[in-house]
Amino acid sequence: MKQTAAFALATALLLGTAHAQEKVTLTVAAFPSLDSAIKAILPAWTKLHPNVTINLQAQQFADHHNAMTTALATGQGLPDVMAIEIGYVGKFAEGQGLENLNSAPYNAAQYKKLFTPFTIAQATGPDGRFIAMPTDIGPGTFFYRKDVLDKAGVNPLTMQSSWENYIASGKKIKQKTGAYLVNTAASVYNLIIRTNLKAGEGIYFDKQNNLLVGPDSARFVRAMTLAKQVRDAGLDAKIGEWSNEWYDAFKKGTVATQFSGAWLQGALQNWMAPDTKGLWRVQNLPEKGFASWGGSFYGIPSKAKNKQWAWEFIKFMTLNQQSQITAFEDNGAFPALIAAQKDKAFSEPVEFLGGQKARVLWRDAAAKTQPIDVNKYDSVADQILQTELTNVLEQGKDIKQALADARAQIARRAR
């Protein structure tokens, strides 16, 4: 307590009077393409704080997070500001290596209402510690090839209304155009298990660490059943994401729909399939399912040297409307800050999507996305279930049996 008070005092002194002259170097560790957004925002920061130099250390995605994990374990080589991707923020929230931004001198509670709500929960640990400020989000959305659906005479709204209609439309598309419905049946499974969760539920565990997977779980049974229907009807192209086949399918239109984060539009436009401009449209996910698909955060390690400036920097990156818009313009990072989402750029039509006002749709989807509870054994459960799903799809294993086996395996590992 004493330490906190002293720190608060020091902060007040530093920020109040002395800092105008002092020279500070702030180390910021990030990964692509967040580093590109930081570089775009840096000139504005330097203008405001000419005495604070930013030392940006960017590593590849996995390398960055491995390095941060090791640094947190040993307390050595930590940056002042740590960028954290959504897949890691839950794990980092369970550890004790990052500052709790709820407490003084940060008092971040006052800013929470400024962000898209579900991101706050993602950065909050089970003990209520809030360890990172959100900067960008990935609203989940339903991409489809308008030309393919038109040719098959399928109404996209029918596909959106229910999963059963989605599959029925898929059969029609396959029959009339030869195009597959989806890249892999696992996509259908992965989406169903992530949407329409009750409050206090995570994907695999609830708030009290109870395991939600099992033969009695309606969500998992339905997810596997529908995935199996897709596979049995020959509607999936059996291709994984981020593969050459995947990009090829986008280019040639051999797969009619794709569930993804809003960021996929930028990737399609920039390098995956630029020639398909105008052929794509987006709508909300089936059965009013809203899901978060990616996102990034900034946290401060407890052993950082320049916590005061780190906090100033994070506030500048996350709470400053212009910074958030700069990041959006730089690489399409969808702002977590609600005020930035109201910028006029968001109501402009997206030409790649045939002039659709897609960003308004994504903004609404983000607002409706419910927080999902994270658990440190999520990655364990995910791996075990993916294997069981393959058993169901490829080897015809009984779904209830697969889920019972998965439950037993996860329960052993989650200690």
Partner 1 sequence: MSQRTPTAAPPRAPWSYTRFQQRFAPYLFVSPFFLLFAVFGLFPLLFSLFLAFHLWSPLDGVGNWKFVGFENFQLALGPTDMFWKSLKNTVWIGLLSGIPQHLVALPLAFIIHHSLRRFQGAFSTILFLPYITNAVAIAIVFATLYSERLGILNYLGGLVGLDPVRWLGDPNMVPYSVAAVVFWRYVGWNTVLYLSGLQAISEDVYEAATVDGANGWQKFWYITLPLLRPMMFYAFTLTIVGSMQLFEEPFMLLNDGGGSGGAGLTSAMHIFNTAFRDLDMGYASAMSWLLFLAIFALSMLNNYLFSRDGGRR
CB of 3 to partner 1, least distance (A): 18
Q: Is 404 in the site for partner 1 (CB under 8 A)?
A: no
Task: Give the separation between CA 125 and CA 339, rounded to whole angstroms.
Answer: 26
Considering beta carbons, is residue 253 or 354 the nearer one to partner 1?
253
Query: Torsions phi, psi of 58, nearest 5?
Result: -105, 130
Q: Is 60 in the site for partner 1 (CB under 8 A)?
A: no
Collapsed DSSP state (helix, strand, coil) of residue 137: strand
Task: Give the separation between CA 195 and CA 140, rounded to whole angstroms.
Answer: 10
Among 53, 155, 386, 401, binds partner 1 (CB under 8 A): 386
Instruction: Look up residue 313 and give its two tokens.
Output: 């920097």
CB of 73 to partner 1, least distance (A): 3
CB 247 within 8 A of CB 276: no
Q: Is 23 in the site for partner 1 (CB under 8 A)?
A: no
Q: Report CA dihedral (403, 405, 407, 410) to the nearest 10 degrees.
A: -130
Q: Is 29 in the site for partner 1 (CB under 8 A)?
A: no
Q: Is 66 in the site for partner 1 (CB under 8 A)?
A: yes
Of 46-54, 144-152, 273-281, 390-398, which part binds partner 1 (CB under 8 A)? 390-398
Instruction: Look up residue 224 and give its two tokens.
Output: 């596997």
Q: Which amino acid belongs to residue 349? A: P
Among 53, 70, 210, 322, binds partner 1 (CB under 8 A): 70
Q: Is 380 in the site for partner 1 (CB under 8 A)?
A: yes
Among 54, 188, 239, 255, binds partner 1 (CB under 8 A): 239
Instruction: Look up residue 78 and give its two tokens.
Output: 């930590």
Q: Is 104 in the site for partner 1 (CB under 8 A)?
A: no
Q: Is 266 in the site for partner 1 (CB under 8 A)?
A: no
Q: Is 84 in the site for partner 1 (CB under 8 A)?
A: no
Q: Number of residues in contact with partner 1, rule: CB under 8 A?
A: 38
Instruction: Look up residue 335 and give its two tokens.
Output: 């702002």
Task: Give the separation between CA 302 and CA 273, rounded to whole angstroms.
Answer: 43
Q: How many residues does the chain have?
A: 415
Among 39, 42, 77, 95, binds partner 1 (CB under 8 A): 95
Sign of CA dihedral 246, 248, 249, 251: positive
CB of 332 to partner 1, least distance (A): 25
- Nearest Cα to Cα of residue 263 among 298, 288, 239, 296: 296
Q: Is 126 in the site for partner 1 (CB under 8 A)?
A: no
Q: What are the residues binding partner 1 (CB under 8 A)? A: 66, 69-70, 72-75, 91-92, 94-97, 238-240, 243-245, 248, 376-377, 379-380, 383-384, 386-387, 390-391, 394-395, 405, 408-409, 412-413, 415
